[in-house]
Structures are given as C-alpha cells and as structure tokens.
Amino acid sequence: MWFSFWRSRDRFTLDHLRYLTDQLAKVQIVNEVNKDFVIEALRSIAELITYGDQHDPSFFEFFMEKQVVAEFVRVLKLSRTVSIPLQLLQTVSIMIQNLRSEHAIYYMFSNEHMNYLITYSFDFRNEELLSYYISFLRAISGKLNKNTISLLVKTRNDEVVSFPLYVEAIRFAFHEENMIRTAVRTVTLNVYHVGDECVNRYITSAPHTEYFSNLVSFFRNQCMDLNRLVSETLKNPGPDSTSAIVAAVDEIEDNLYYFSDVISAGIPDVGRLITDSILMLLIFPMLLPSLRIVDTNDMQSGVVTSLYLLCCILRIVKIKDLANTIVAALFYPLETFTRFSRGKVNGYISDRGLTSVSQEPDDDNIAKCNAECLTVNVPQSSSSSGLDTESIMSEDNCSSSNLALREVLLAYVTKGDDVQVLGSLSVLATLLQTKELDESMLDRLGILPQRKQHKKQLLQALVGEASGEEQLFSSENSLMRDGSGCEPGVYLEKIKVCSSLFLSEQYGLSFLSSDFLMSPRVPRFQVLDALVSLFCRSNISAETLWDGGWLLRQLLPYSEAEFNIHHLELLQVSYKNSATALVKEVRGFWPDLLITVLCNEWRKCKRAMESSYPPKEPKCILFPSQMLSSEEDIPEGSSFAAGEKMHEVVKVFVVLHQLQIFTLGRYLPEKPLIYPPGDLPANSRAQTSGLDVSGPKPGTEVSLVSAVPCRIAFERGKERHFCFLAISAGTSGWLVLAEELPLKKPYGVVRVAAPLAGCNPRIDDKHPRWLHMRIRPSSLPVLDPAKFNAHAHAHAHAHAHGKLKTKAFVDGRWTLAFRDEESCKSALSMILEEINFLSDEVHRRLKPLLNLETALDLSGPEEEDSSSHSTTPPNSV
C-alpha cells in the first residue's frame, strides 16, 4: 500500500520529501513486507537531497530539521537483512559525493553519525556489502579538508586520539581484491594530503606507523610472487604465465607509485619510515643477496627479478636517502648481505628459502621478515674486461664474498647471459637517471657523465678550490671535504652505525670494500672496460648492445678521450666481425631488403643513442627475446628465421659502426653512407623485358625474348602453361610467370610474380625437368607490420615464451616442369645469374659503409659542416 501510494505522488518536491521522511519515521521493523519500500525510500531521499542541493536550499534545510541522518541510523539498527545496509551505504555515499554546499557537508559529518556508520559492525562476509562500505569511506575522504576532518576525529589535550575513518580503512589495505586495496589507498591519500598537523602526528605515532611497514611487507610478498612467476615461466613457458607476469608487474609498479604519492604528501617522518622499511625488509635481506653468482646451470629468476625491482624502486620512489643508501650499499662486499640474509632483522630470525606469501601481513609476519636469497648462474665466456670476473666463479660462492656489489654488476655485463647483461645495464642506466643521487655517488660508481665532470671541474676552478684534476681524482679528500664530496661518507656511515634502522655490525656491515677508497678514475675505467668487453661478445642480442651503446654515449658524449688503444683495437675487431657477418647476408635470403632494413635501423639506432632515455624499459628483462640462430624449433631453411637473423646482424653492425664513428669524435650522419642506385646495363634482362625498378605487376606487358616455357599446377589437376623469367633490377629481383599474347609475339602478360632472392632453386633429383623453388614473402614483419599483423601477434607472443611459433610463417613452393632438361638447366642458370647481379649491386652500394676508413673519410667534411651550420647536411654518396 505504501509503495503504490508513493509512486503516484509528484517527485522532486518538498512535499514528497516530507512524505518519505514521515513514512520512514513510522517504520518500527524492517521485514520482507516493507523492505522494498524502505530501500526505495532511502534511494529517493538521496536523489531528492542531491536535487535540492543544486536547485532548492529548502530541501536540505528540511533534511537537517528532521535529522534524517539519525533516521537512517535508526533504520539500520532495525534491519536484519543485508539489503538495507547495502542501500543505506549507497544512499549516504551518493549524497556525500554529490553535495556541493560546504554547509551541507559540514552537517553530514557532524553529530558523530558518520563515525557511527564507519564503526558499525557490518557483515563483511558479504562481498557486495564490503564493496559498498569501502565506496562509502572513499566518498567521505573525498570531502576532507582542514575544516571537515576535525569533525571526524576525537581529540584530547589538542591531540588526536581517535580517527575511525583512517583506522577502519587501513584494516582492508591488504585485502585480496585489488579494487578494495585501490579504494583504501585513495582514502589514505586523501587523508594525507589534507595536511592537518594533529592528524599527521596521529598517523606517524604507534601503533599506526605499522601500516607503512605492513605496506612494504605486503609489497615484498608481491615481489616474491613475481619471482616465482618468472621462475615458472623460465621452466615452462606459456601464455598464461606471461600474462600473469604482466599483471604482477602492474601491481608492483602501482604499489611503488602509491609509495611515491604518500611521500609527496609531505608528512614528516613518513619518507623515513618507508625508506627504513624498504631497506630492512626488502633491499638488504632479499634483493642484494639475490645477486650472488655461482657456476651452475640453475634457473636465474632471482637475479632477473632483483635487478628489475632495484630499477623500479629507484625510478619510482624518489627518496634521496633511499637512493643514496642503495648506491652506498653497492660498495660493500656481497658476503655482507648474504650474512644478513642468514641473520636477524630487529631481533627476529630470517630464513633463506624462497617463499611466496599472499596473505594479509600481520605483526608477526612483519617481524619474522622471511628473507629470500637466490643464486644466479653466469655462463662462462671470454671477456676482455680488466675486471677479474674469473675469481667470481668458483664453488659455493666463496670466491665472490669479498667482491663489491658494483663489481658483481660489471661481472654480469662481461660474463652474464643476455638477460643478466640487460638487467645490469638497466640498473646502471637507472642510477644514471636518478636525480636524487648525489653526483659524488655517481662518480664513485664510475658512471658520472663526462659533461657533468667537466662542469664540476669548472665550478671548482671558479670558486678557487683545488684544481679540477685534483678534486676529481682525490679519494680521501673528496670523502671528507665539506659539500657534496662528503655525501658518500654520510650514507656509508648511516649503513654502518644505524643498527636500529638497518643492520648492525654483527650481521656483516662492519667493513667496506676498498673500491670506495680508490680514486674515482679506477671505477670509471672498470665501467668502460666492461662496456667495451660487452661489444666484443657474440652471444648478446642486438637490443642489449643498443642499451650498452646508449650507456656509453651518456658517459662519454664527446670523443674518444677516455678510450685507450686496447679499447679501440677491441672495438675495431668487433666491428670487422660484424661487417663480415653483414657481407654474408648479401648472399643470403634477403639481400633485396638488406639496404632498406639497414637504413631503417640506422635511423632508429641514432635516435636511440641520442635519446635521454635508454632504448628499453627495465621490465623488458622479465620478457627476454630470443636470439635466432639454429634453434631446433625453426624449420631448416626458413626464410622468416633467416629474415630475423638478418635483422639481428644489421642491428649489431649498425650500433658497432656508430660507436666507431663516435669513439673517433666524428659527426654521426642521419643516414648510412652508401652509394646511390646504379644505372641498369642496356643488355640486362630487366631492360630487354621492358620492366623498370618498380617491378612486374599482374597485367603488366613484358617481352618474352629471354623467357623459358614451362608448366605449373597451382591447383591439383589444373596445369597451366607459362613463360618463365628471372629478372633483377638494382637491388630488387623477381620470378615472373607470364602468359604469351598469341597476337603479339614475343610479348606476354604477367600473371604471377614472386621475389627472386631466397628462392633457393634446385633441380629435382629424380625428374631432371622439374625445378623446385622456395617462394618467400615480399616483405618482413619488421618492415610491414600491418601486413603481418595477425602473424606478428603470434610471433611476439611466442618470443615472450622463449619459443618461435613458426607454423604461422610458412614459405611457399613452386615446382616448374620444363619440356626438356636443357630448358630446366637454362632456367636455373638464369635464376643464379640474376641473383648474382642483385647481390653484387647490394654489395657495391654498401662498400663505403663496410670500409671503415672510407666511411670516416666521407663523414669528415660533413662533420666540419655540421659545426658551422644548423641544417643537416646530405649523407648519401
């Protein structure tokens, strides 16, 4: 009866609001009979109050006069069904979110009604109810300011003693549902950014400070879960595991951005609390010990995950003390942190096993601090670095105990596999870009960019201090002198003596590697040695070499001043090897696209080397690409595999060539220095057939003077007669099947055309009149991603799992039948001759690039021009 009568009334009037509140006041019990009316009344009141707030103030005046919020609370107490609390929370949330009047918000937050609803014992076993409750808390937090927040706290002697909104919200900070966790973080950030000093003191007092250590502990568990996923993916690649890693990475980065947002609120001591927790619960007991090196064939997920996390933390959580303390820790021997991983954290024993904990962290979980310590395999390979990496590889990890962590990172560069190299380069690049790091710390690591060194020397000379050379290479003085030079000592001392925050001497941080006391020139040369050694390695992917090239350009942006003769000789040998590999590709499957790929990669590499950011993000180390060479999954002779290999060879050649130009201080041209296309010989088949460099298209008329008649069946039982031609024009070439024009001999019309290069012609062993040919695509996915869109998705997906799904890339086959053996041999000879013409033209155009001295001589005048003109000079010969 109530429901039908209410529906007939005029809505959006004060009378209707009065009617609803009167009927709600009459409710003495909520049961199955009247619960629908109560729910609809609550919903409609919210709608009316929102309308009145924007159109008629008398609505809210009536709402206050009748104390409708108190009626809401009374109805909630009467309810025994979950539907009423659901609607009530939604009603209040909608009202708070949509009220614009500050006076209305002030009223809603007064009289302790909101705090009553916040602390009410809802049955959160109902997931929908919990979701509505968290939305309710978020709605309240969205209206907080220095005036309204005082209505939601209780004080005693001007100090906050109770803040239900904050306390109840963080109860669900580690809920298994991501949406709940995100909403709670929104609530906390809204509280932090109010900037109320009393509330801030409450937040940073015991026991509420446990929230920040709990945050880091929860984050630590997520890091351990990520490590488990990476390990499983290395062992058993699959689409599900890769998508799980992507989701885990997103969660981890979201957590770090939340840390950053919390710190940006500027609450005193919060930055220190988060810094201390990250160091004590994550960096010291888990990440740094995971960088151990042992000579085994075990999985390497520990170092991969640790290197990624170090990059992530430094890149997102911008705390000066945190960044500088992490860097200071890199000067300690590795054994320092492996001891810590076996010791105690604040009096509690930590274990060394890999654990994966997903539950909500409680006080016991935080205190126990289950540490993770992983081992890493580094394969043996030759290296030219001056770093003594051989001493790292021995039984039980004993030989690396006195090796500083910064040297471990360099050991990965010189001896690690592709993923470890990329991870180590990512850490060094991240450190280089971390603005919170003191330049003196970068100098001690050996990665202070040359331009900053010059600036530092100039400033020192201007203020009348010691000479730039003395300042730069004085070790003890720079550590003790006032100013930026004393900063490293500050952070080292912080690690050693602040046992209450980090580690005590009994756990291994009582001694410092001699690296830190040496001249900054030594670690700089060690870094340079490692990078030069990297470019001499043949088992490293081109993409990783590009990252190494970017780092080298950042450190030495001007010339070869810091390269010694040994460095230059090694780089030249490596360059010549890459040039030899490139020349082999001239006779390979894809010579017709070699110059196009090379020009594209030249531009990309130049742009990558000159960028302010490294070519790849740190997360890429979790999804390593595979180098294609002789994998068993690739069908023998696959043109797609050959195309990927050619692309890799070109990228290696390009980065090494550009480094050669860079090391000699020459101008790097916009385009590779190659010869322009040459004129076609008058007697070439392309000329006699009437074709140009644009190539044959179906329907094009051609001369068949040099053609050989043949038969082919594109469908079973349907044999067709054609005239076969092999034609090359410059760096392009085609296999042509044309139909003769009976009324216009010797001309015909092109019906089918395929690429000449990579056709691999072969006469059948049993049928000497049959000629077999491979028909590869006219382009590569790297050049025409739109055309290969569907295939590219499968290809990239397979790469993420370490396997190449070659079924998506299958070459075609032609078998031509000729009238006699001589005709078949003539066709074969024509194909081979035209392939040679094509390859010779490609080689001719590449000659100035393959001859380093010629290339440098050709770039010389442009270097001079570039110094006096702002425009880019022409680059092609």
Residue 665's pLDDT band (cuts 50, 70, 90):
confident
Q: In sequence order, what are the beta bridge partners of 729?
A: 732
CA distances from 853 to 39, 557, 580, 582 (A): 85, 22, 15, 17
Residue 570 scores a pLDDT above 60: yes
Confidence of residue 626 (pLDDT cuts 50, 70, 90): low
Q: Are 625 and 802 in contact, with CB atoms under 8 Å apart?
A: no
**Residue 651 β-bridge partners:** none
Torsion sign (Cα): 22, 24, 28, 34:
positive
Residue 133: CA atoms inside 13 Å, Cβ hemisphere, count?
A: 27
Enter the DSSP assignment of 636.
T
pLDDT greater at residue 275 or residue 787: 275
Cα distance between residue 103 and residue 53, in whole Å: 10
Spatial separation of the C-alpha atoms in residues 174 and 214, rounded to whole Å: 9
pLDDT, tens digit, 9 for 90 and up, residues 614-624:
998 999 999 87
CA dist 386 and 567 (Å) reads 11
Token pair of 864, please?
């001079």
Q: pLDDT confidence of 268, banded at 50, 70, 90?
A: confident
CB neighbour list of residue 196: distance below 8 Å, 6 or more residues apart: 146, 149, 150
pLDDT at 260 over 50: yes
pLDDT at residue number 241: 78
d(CA 108, CA 103): 9
Residue 109: its pLDDT value, please?
93
Q: Where are the beta strands (DSSP E) in 681-746?
A: 701-703, 708-715, 718-729, 732-740
Higher pLDDT, 714 or 589: 589
- The pLDDT value recorded for residue 457 is 61
Q: Is the pLDDT at 834 greater than 50, yes or no?
A: yes
Instruction: Tell me what the pLDDT averaged over the chain comes to.
Output: 80
Q: Is the pLDDT of residue 118 over 70?
A: yes
Give the per-residue pLDDT at 482. 37
Q: Please state the rounded mean pLDDT for residues 524-529.
A: 90
Closest CA to 760 of 645, 642, 646, 596: 642
pTM of the model as a whole = 0.81
Kindly give, in sequence order, each residue whose CB lies less than 8 Å from that of residue 135, ignoring residues fewer than 6 positions away.
Answer: 89, 90, 93, 183
Q: Per mean pLDDT, which of 305-314, 369-378, 432-441, 860-869 is the most reliable?
A: 305-314
Q: Per residue, what are the HEC states of 27-67?
A: CCCCCCCCHHHHHHHHHHHHHHHHHHHHHCHHHHHHHHHCC
Beta strands 348-349; 344-345: pairing state = antiparallel
Q: Residue 338: is its pLDDT beyond 80?
A: no
Q: Which helix (H) or strand (E) holds 816?
A: strand 812-817
- Tokens read off for 499: 């046992």
Tell me the pLDDT tens digit for each residue of 808-832: 568 899 999 999 999 999 999 999 9
Residues 152 and 169: their CA atoms lie apart, in Å, by 13
Mean pLDDT of the region 195-212: 94
Q: Mean pLDDT check: name the lowest of 282-286, 367-371, 384-388, 741-745.
A: 367-371
pLDDT tens digit sequence for 346-396: 333 333 333 333 444 444 443 343 333 333 333 333 333 344 444 443 333
Q: Is the peptide bond before 591 cis (omega within 30 degrees of 0)?
A: no
The pLDDT, as a whole number, for residue 170 is 97
Q: What are the phi and psi torsion angles at 795 (to 5°)?
A: -65, -50
Average pLDDT value for residue range 190-210:
94
36 Cα distance to chain centroid: 52
Q: Hey, which bits of 234-319 come out as E strands? A: 292-294
Q: Are strands 292-294 and 375-377 parallel, antiparallel or unpaired?
A: parallel
Q: How far apart are CA 36 and CA 19, in angstroms?
A: 16
Query: How many separate helices (H) and strands (E) can be counted in the chain?
Result: 35, 14
pLDDT in tens, 843-873: 999 999 988 766 555 555 444 333 333 333 3
Return the pLDDT at 624.
73
Rg (CA), the chain: 36
Strands 708-715 and 718-729: antiparallel
Burial call 263-282: b when 16+ CB within 10 Å, e when fewer: bebebeebbbbbbbbbbbbb
Percent share of the chain, pLDDT over 90: 51
Weakest mean pLDDT among 167-181, 651-665, 848-862: 848-862
Q: What distance in Å separates the CA atoms of residue 81 and residue 32, rounded to the nearest whole number?
A: 9
- Comparing CA positions, the residue from 483, 478, 490, 481 lying closest to residue 325 is 490
What is the mean pLDDT of the segment spanning 699-716?
Answer: 90
Contact 431, 445 (CB under 8 A): yes
What pLDDT band is residue 874 in, cutting at 50, 70 and 90? very low
CA gap 125, 428 in Å, rounded: 48
How far apart CA 651 and CA 546 sit, in angstroms, is 8
Which tens digit of pLDDT belongs to each residue from 449-460?
A: 876 665 666 666
Q: 640: how many CB neighbours lie within 10 A of its CB?
A: 24
| pLDDT tens digits for range 89-114 | 999 999 999 988 888 899 999 889 99
Q: How high is the pLDDT of residue 399?
A: 42
Residues 6+ apart with CB under 8 A from 36: 3
Using DSSP, state whether 214 is helix, strand or coil: helix
* Span 752-794, pLDDT tens digits: 999 999 999 999 999 999 999 999 998 888 887 776 654 444 4
